[in-house]
Structure formats: C-alpha cells, structure tokens
Amino acid sequence: MTRDYHAIATIVDDAARFAKAIPQLSLNGNDLDLEEAYRVQAASVARRYQRGEVPSGIKMGFTSRAKQVQMGLSDMIWGRLTDAMRVEDGGEIRLQDYVHPRAEPEIAFLLNKPLTGKVTVLEAMAAVEAIAPAIEIIDSRYEGFKFNLPDVVADNTSSSSYVVGAWHSPAMDFSNLGMSLEINGVPVQIGSSAAILNHPARALAAASRLLGEQGLSMEAGWILMAGGATAAHALNPGDDVRLQVQQMGRVGFSVAAA
C-alpha cells in the first residue's frame, strides 16, 4: 500500500505545533509499519527545518525498564531534536505550548565528532566531548498519551523539549549515579543512571547503530539524550522541576503558573 507520508507528517507536525491532541494514527486508518513510521517522522521534522529550525541532536526512547513498563513497549526507538526544542537551564515553559507534557531524568552527551554505525561503547565515547544531567520534556500528541510503536515513532518519539545542565568531563564514572527528579522540592522519581541499559553510554552506541541502519549519522556539536532512567512525571502549572544527579549537580526549569 502506498501512503501519503507527507499528509500524515502534516497531521503529527500540526498536532505538535498547535498543541492539539490527535487520535492515534493506527486507530485512524494509518496503521504504519516501523519503517513507514520513521519516514513520517523524517517528513514531519523536515517541516520544522522548513520553518527555520536546525537539527541539534537525537533522543533515545525506551532504554530503561522503568520507561518500557510505564508505556508498555519494549523496543528501543529514537527521535530527532532541534534547536527550538532546547529550554535553557533554569528557564520557564508554558503548559499551553504542550498537550500533556511529562518530565523524565536523563543524561545528555555532547559529540565532538560524527558518529554512526555499529560501534563499541569505547568507540562511541571517543566521540564525546562532555556529559551532563538533563531533563527531557516529552509530549505525546496522541489522546490519552496512548500509542503503539509506529504511532510514537511517527510522532517523533514524543520529542518536545529538553533541558541540559552543566557539562562534565566524559572521563568520570557515570555508570551508576543516583538521579532524583524533584517537583517543588519533593522527590517524585528516584533512580540511577545504571537503569539506562546498565550504562548510559550504551544508549549512545545504540543510537549510532540504529541511525547507521538507516544510513544516517549524528554530527559534531549534536546532543544525544540517553533516555529516561525512571518513569516520566506529568507536569502541572507552577511546578518547579529539578533533577539532581550525584556528582553532576542539578538541572531544572519551571512551569508558568496557570
């Protein structure tokens, strides 16, 4: 069956742009396979590039058991980040720009070389300039935050915003650092960087492999978000959101009051 990928991409891109929930593609006549879903994702993000956004990195999804269990899906997936998705550390977001955003504790990598293909963790780390504590703000455009794997991939793997804290040397041991996501000073999700594939660097190697399979590459200057170490936490007006990562410090943002 030939589909109009651009028409489907317009549906998910408009939903994100206007913060308006849509029915799952799979329940609405567009039961895509995974390959088609990545084509829709590419076409949807291409619309962002046409509006002047610039690629800034890649985010991994479902790299921890906690995330897989929360969403009921267990295959690793990835999405595209742009400069417009970046929220300054300490910045403020407005709920009306999102459908139903959730925050998740992550680790970010800053690349200083292109990276693609099947690589070892050591080879992947050789392309890393720095690492940082980071929060991803995911926002499924689907009603009820419900989707199957192709649905979420087509929706750019729920990519919405990301916040990166101070950069640290990648030489430090970040395999098992305590991570505490706090809302208004109260811990709501507690975990460890080890929850991300036993070592967050494995998420970088996995991203390299998965992009390589599609003939794509991460570029120098890009960021790789390793995936949530815990379940994601829904955001409310007035929330002060902080992630504390052992030995790395904190990163955060606030949600404007209603």
Closest contact distance (angstroms) between CB of 71 and ligand OOG is 5
Q: Which is nearer to ligand OOG, 171 or 188 (CB)?
A: 188
Q: Pick the piece of the chain touching Mg ion (CB under 5 A) from 24-32, 47-55, 126-134, 221-229.
A: 221-229
- The verdict on 36 binding Mg ion (CB under 5 A) reads no
Which residue's CB comes closest to Mg ion?
136
Closest contact distance (angstroms) between CB of 157 and ligand OOG is 5
Q: Pick the piece of the chain touching Mg ion (CB under 5 A) from 23-31, 84-92, 96-104, 180-188.
A: 96-104
Phi, psi of 100 (to 5 degrees): -160, 70
The residue within the footprint of Mg ion, chosen from 228, 235, 244, 253 (CB under 5 A), is 228
**Secondary structure in 3-state letters for the chain:** CCCCHHHHHHHHHHHHHCCCCECCHHHCCCCCCHHHHHHHHHHHHHHHHHCCCCEEEEEEECCCHHHHHHHCCCCCEEEEEEHHHEECCCCEECHHHCCCCEEEEEEEEEECCCECCCCCHHHHHCCEEEEEEEEEEECCCEHHHCCCHHHHHHCHHHCCEEEECCCECCCCCCCCCEEEEEECCEEEEEEEHHHCCCCCHHHHHHHHHHHHHCCCCECCCCEEECCCCCCCEECCCCCEEEEEECCCEEEEEEECCC
Residues that bind ligand OOG (CB under 6 A): 59, 61-62, 67, 71, 104, 136, 138, 140, 152, 157-158, 227-228
Q: How many residues sit close enough to Mg ion to count as binding (CB under 5 A)?
A: 3
> End-to-end distance of the chain based on CA atoms, in angstroms?
46
Q: Which is nearer to ligand OOG, 59 or 242 (CB)?
A: 59
Closest contact distance (angstroms) between CB of 94 and ligand OOG is 20
Q: Which partner from the list ligand OOG, Mg ion, none does 67 bind, CB cut-off 5 to 8 Å by kind?
A: ligand OOG
Closest contact distance (angstroms) between CB of 71 and Mg ion is 11
- Compute the distance between CA of residue 161 and CA of residue 171 in angstroms, rounded to an integer: 27
Q: Which is nearer to ligand OOG, 39 or 59 (CB)?
A: 59
- Compute the distance between CA of residue 4 and CA of residue 80 in angstroms, rounded to an integer: 21
Per CB under 5 A, contacts with Mg ion among 160-179 are none
Q: Which is nearer to ligand OOG, 63 or 208 (CB)?
A: 63
- Compute the distance between CA of residue 123 and CA of residue 143 in angstroms, rounded to an integer: 40
Q: Which is nearer to Mg ion, 101 or 228 (CB)?
A: 228
- The verdict on 136 binding Mg ion (CB under 5 A) reads yes
Closest contact distance (angstroms) between CB of 187 and Mg ion is 19
- The verdict on 155 binding Mg ion (CB under 5 A) reads no
Q: Which residues bind Mg ion (CB under 5 A)?
A: 104, 136, 228
